[in-house]
Every structure is written in structure tokens, then in C-alpha cells.
Structure 1
Amino acid sequence: MELFSLEFLTALVTIVFIDLILAGDNAIVIGLAARKLPKEQQKKAVIWGTVGAVGIRAVATVLVVYLLQVPWLMVAGGVLLLWIAYKLLVDSGDHGDIQAGNTLWQSIRTIIIADAAMGIDNVIAVAGAGHGSILLVVLGLVISIPIVVWGSTLFIKIIGRYPWIVYIGSSVIAYTAAKMITHEKRLEDVFNSSPAFEWAFMILVVVAVIAFGLRKNVMRGRASRMEKSGESH
């Protein structure tokens, strides 16, 4: 991929957007882990916890970029990423198991461990969007870090006000997943022979993920309304 070409810049914007759309969990984890600390220590916990978490995530993403070159792992990663795109739409976002730290070190450790455990979706999504380019992945992380640290809480509020943004995020991740599958070397003959078939496949995958997520949310909302209606009687 040529440096600063349209393809390069598009992939970079995709990586930053994926980091942002998946940053909500980071903000929640940071807030919960640091909530018992004195105000003056909360900022330190946020900064050092995020630095540690991003460091681990950067190493993991680089490793995944190399792993995705193994035959059929692009397909496996793509399928897993499709599940992540669906989960983003229907996840209830329960973080009750995140324990607040009583000391600065405890809070930093909690942020790093929780983020590492929850960050697999981000790692696979960013590695897939990077198309094997370490430079893209590193640039994406460098651009995303300040946005995630200082802007993730604001981003949560924006998503709360405009829930449809989550559907756009899920579409981007589903598209990345479909592209990973079509870029699998063992399937080159299937997709490269017909660009129209490749695009039709990617569009179908995105539509399917959104449709299943929307259906699940509608069913959940209906069940919740019925439950409230039963309680009122």
C-alpha cells in the first residue's frame, strides 16, 4: 500500500473510527476503576492506566497483523469480527464486575488488566483494517490515544444522544470483517475473478449484521415493554 495514497488514508480513517466507536468501554473501565481515588490522583490513574493499556494493545495488534498472514486466519478473524460488529449493536454494556481501586497503583492495574481482557475486539478490528501494514496500525493508535483518553467520555454522550452512530460503527466493522474474508489468499480465485461478486458479498454481510442486530434490539424492546406493562397491572 503506497504511503499517503487514497487507499492508505481511507484505511487510516477507518482505524481511527474503529478505535473511537470501541472507545466507550475504555471510558467506562477508566471511570469505574478510578472512581474511589482522590481527585488529584484520578488524572494520573487515567493517564498511566491508558498508557499501559495502549502499550499492551499495540504489541497485541502487531502480533495479530503477523498472525493474519497465516492461511485461513483472515477468514477466522473476519468471522470473529462479524460477531464483534453484531455484539456492538446488542451488547447491554454491563460493567458491574470492574472493581474500583483504593490506591493509584490498584486503579492503574485494574485499568490495564480490564482493558487487555476487553480489547480483543479492538485489536482484531484494527489489525484487519490495517491490511498488514504495521505503519498504519501504529499511526492509527498514535492518533487515537489522545482522542480515547480525553474524548471517549464525550463520545459516549454523543452516542447516547444519537444512537444511530453505533449502527454506522457496526457497519464499518462488518465491512472490515467482510474485506478480511475477501482478502484471504486461499479465496483469491473466488473473489478476484469478479469484483461485482466481491462487492455484493461485502454489502450482503453488512446488511445481514445490521438486520440481525436491529431485529434483536426490537425484540428486546418489545419484551421490556411487555414486562413493564405486566408490572403496572
Structure 2
Amino acid sequence: MELLLEYGWVLLVLIALEGLLAADNALVLAIMVKHLPEDQRKKALFYGLLGAFVFRIGSLFLISFLVDVWQVQAIGALYLLYISINHTLKHFIKGKKPTEDAKPKPDKPKKQSGFWMTVFKVEVADIAFAVDSILAAVALAVALPASGLPNIGGLDGGQFIVIFLGGFIGLIIMRFAASYFVKLLQQRPGLEVAAFLIVGWVGVKLAVITLAHPDVALIDHHFPESSIWKASFYIVLVLIAVIGWFGSSKQEVQDEDNAIKEVEDQQPGKTFQG
């Protein structure tokens, strides 16, 4: 029972983090395709989501074989820390709001990309989003106790399933619930900063795992699995989320708010014809 609770807790954390990141990602993708005609916008997003699914599955199987390589762990930790610090600094130093890119801007004569070039750009963006998502999921899951399921690559079977479910649910959120999370981010802008601070804190966790690797051995090999570290990690994670929620005053979202409509209008419809 304790094992199931620990796995379930990590999966819930992943779903919440994926939801917030997916909202930001969905808004970016909606902006990327908005210059296309409506039917082409939906096709571009459909192909983009399909490509994202294939890439995430392939990446997950690849990283399952590389997860025990300390150099890969170190690069992953540095990358998560970089995107966390970079986004946070942009938010506070430049005063950039989460939905600033969705606000109307002065018209400028600019040649827009064609359909397939837009699809290509969407795929590239999906790859970047998938890297963030998979690295964060791996960092959260690798310290979980062994489930007893057969290993997949260098990952315990249970850890692999948690990472897979987190990424898959993230794609579902991008497809069906993105507008809800965009609205939540607009009502509570601090949640976006909190999400990226959590990404950075997950990067710290991956750095601890790297330092405890037998080939590095700068800290005790069993420390990442210790109760003290696990409790400290999740206490700080919850504190970041709570501060992000209550530290951001609730803002009213007007019906004509562009950011929400931007995502809602570009979601592939249920009647989509390939």
C-alpha cells in the first residue's frame, strides 16, 4: 500500500506539472498556427500532436537506456535549471506576463510560413516541450522504490509506467483541457512562475541523483532514496505550489480575453477529417 501511495503521489505531481506546462505550450502552438485558414490550423495542430506522441514514446525508450549514465543526468539537471532560471528571470526582470504574446500587436508586413513549414515548426516546438516534460518526469520517478516489475532499459518497470502516463496525460491535456489551464494561469499568474520554479527544483533533485551516482560519489549513494531527502523535496515542492497559488492575487478574466479564445479556437474539433 505504501508503494502504491508513493507512486500515486508522484503521478499526481506529474499530472499537475504537465497541466501547467501544457497550457503554456498549447498557447504557444495556437499562436504559431493562427495565420493559417481554420481547417489548416486544426490539421497542423493534429499533425503536431501526433508527432509529439511519437517523439515522446521514442524519447522515453531512448532515455530509459541512458538514465543511469551520470553525464546524461548532469546535462538533464543543468537543462532543467537553465529553463527554470531563464523563465523566472524573464518574468521578473522584463516584467513579461504569461499571456503577453497573445495580446494584439501592431500589424507588420510579414511573410507567413506555409502549411507544411508551419507543421515543421510545430513539430520542433513539440520536441522542445517533450524534452522538458520527459526530463522532469524522469527526475521525479527515478528515485521511486523498485516496483518489482521487469526493467525497461535502465528503468524499473513501475518508474517507466509513471513517466509514460505523465507524458501521455500531458498530451491529453494539450488536446482537451488546455483552455481550462490557460484560464487558470490567467486567473493566477503566479502559478506559471511556480511551475517553472518546480521544474528548477526537480532539476536540483536530478543534480542530487547525479552527485550520488557511483561513478561520481560526491554524496552518499543512498541519499536520494532516504526519507529525509524525499520529505524535504516534497515539502519544498508543495510550498512552491502553495506560495504560487496564494501569492498571486486572483484576476478576473474577461469573456473577450484573447489568450483563452486563442487556444479554444485552434483545438482540433471532434469532427476533424484527416
After TM superposition, the score normalised by the length of structure 1 is 0.69
Aligned with 2:208 (options 174, 177, 182): 182
Amino acid in the other structure paired with 1:77: G
| Stretch deviating more after TM superposition (68-77 or 126-135) | 68-77
CA deviation map 1:44-103 (0-9, x unaligned): 22122111123213322332333221135434423432233333423457979xx85432
- Aligned letter for 2:36? L
C-alpha deviation, 1:26, in angstroms: 2.3
Task: Give, in whole Å, the separation in 2 of the partners of 1:71 and 1:148.
Answer: 32
8 A Cα contact 1:49 1:112, kept in partner: yes
Residue type of the partner of 1:78?
A: A
The aligned runs of 1:23-34 (5 Å cut-off) are: 23-34=22-33
CA distance in 2, matches of 1:100, 1:18: 33
- 2:137 counterpart of 1:126: yes
Deviations 1:192-228 (A, max 9, x none): 69754x3697489879x99xxxxxxxxxxxxxxxxxx
Three-state SS of the structure 2 residue aligned to 1:185 is coil
| Cα RMSD (Å) | 3.6
Conserved? CA contact 1:89–1:170, under 8 Å: yes
C-alpha distance in structure 2 between counterparts of 1:32 and 1:173, whole Å:
24
1:185 maps to amino acid: H
Contact 1:33-1:101 at 8 Å conserved across structures: no
| Distance (whole Å) between structure 1 residues aligned to residue 185 and residue 81 of structure 2 | 21
Name the CA distance, whole Å, in 2 between partners of 1:3 and 1:50.
35
In the TM superposition, 1:35-114 aligns within 5 A as 35-71=34-70, 73-91=72-90, 92=96, 101-103=113-115, 105-114=116-125
Partner Cα distance (1:118, 1:108) in 2: 15
Q: Which residue of 1 aligns with 2:148?
A: none
Question: Quick check: which one's helix share is greater?
Answer: 1
Cα distance change, pair 129–79 in 1 and its aligned pair in 2 (3 A): same
Question: How far apart are 1:5 and its partner, in Å?
Answer: 0.6
- Sequence identity, in percent? 22
Q: Distance in 1 between matches of 2:81 and 2:237?
A: 9
What residue in structure 2 maps to residue 220 of structure 1?
Answer: none
Distance 2:181 2:226 in 1: 39
Please, which runs of 5 or more residues in structure 1 have no aligned partner?
211-233
CA separation of 1:37 and 1:171: change in aligned 2, threshold 3 A = closer
Residue of structure 2 in register with 1:12 after alignment? 11
Contact 1:101-1:110 at 8 Å conserved across structures: no
Residue of 123, 141, 145 corresponding to 2:167? 141
Partner of 1:214: none
TM superposition shift of 1:147: 0.8
Specify the SS of the correspondent of 1:37.
coil
The AA in structure 2 aligned to 1:53 is A
**Structure 1 residues 160, 52: CA separation in 2 closer, same or farther (over 3 Å shift)?**
same
